[in-house]
Amino acid sequence: MNKTIKFEDLGSKDFKETWDYQEQLFKAILDTKIKNRREDAGLETDNHFLFVEHPHVYTLGKSGDLSNLLLSEEQLREKGATFYKINRGGDITYHGPGQIVGYPILDLDNFFTDIHKYLRFLEECIILTLAEYGLECGRSPGETGVWLDVGTPFARKICAMGVRASRWVTMHGFALNVNADLGYFDNIIPCGIRGKAVTSLNVELGNEKVDETEVKSKILKHFKILFEAKLV
């Protein structure tokens, strides 16, 4: 079992280019697994973890409802945003500047073969990170992601999640709002959930700009501990 994870921070990168790169890494792991099964090759499978910030983009999961996008093609262009229907779970979400997007591309055979546990670990990683900023976050029953004030009229989502898995290999991941322009969420019904707000770390801390490099280092720290992994 290879618990070493190759880490890359891609900086600001187009969504489609990053999606293609994810698919490339994902396919390479699957190809190794298939070779091992067919030829008993005994090859180690790689694991990857990408950080990225996307230009304004809306993405819709494979089971999502297009009516949750409240903009026409022309309005998307006016806002400088793009739109993609993609192969992860979940409904519609927004990515953009001021948001930390994490894409773990892991062979869960190297860790544990349980998608439910995997999603809970991703959530826990963000919950522990935000606790370091004095925020008490949690989960909302039946709704993936990380929330504040769950069970109150003030419930608001700070981190969205959506993954794809095949043969225990994962892709896609989470999007944590750190210094995000929340106005872009007004153009969708986030994750298809009506009547619940979206927030960002800087808003919760009094609208002070947050050091995103520091947030990333905290995420990586908790990710390594939870997955008992080594990042290189």
| pLDDT tens digits along 15-54 | 999 999 999 999 999 999 999 999 999 999 999 999 999 9
92 is in an annotated binding site: yes
Known active-site residue 191: yes
Give tens-digit pLDDT for 175-218. 999 999 999 999 988 665 666 789 999 999 999 999 999 999 99
Q: How many other CB atoms are there within 10 angstroms of residue 16's CB atom?
A: 13
Q: Is 165 annotated as a binding residue?
A: no
Average pLDDT of the residues of the chain = 95
The verdict on whether residue 183 carries a ligand-binding annotation is: no
**Domain 4-231 architecture:** 2-Layer Sandwich (3.30)
pTM above 0.85, yes or no: yes
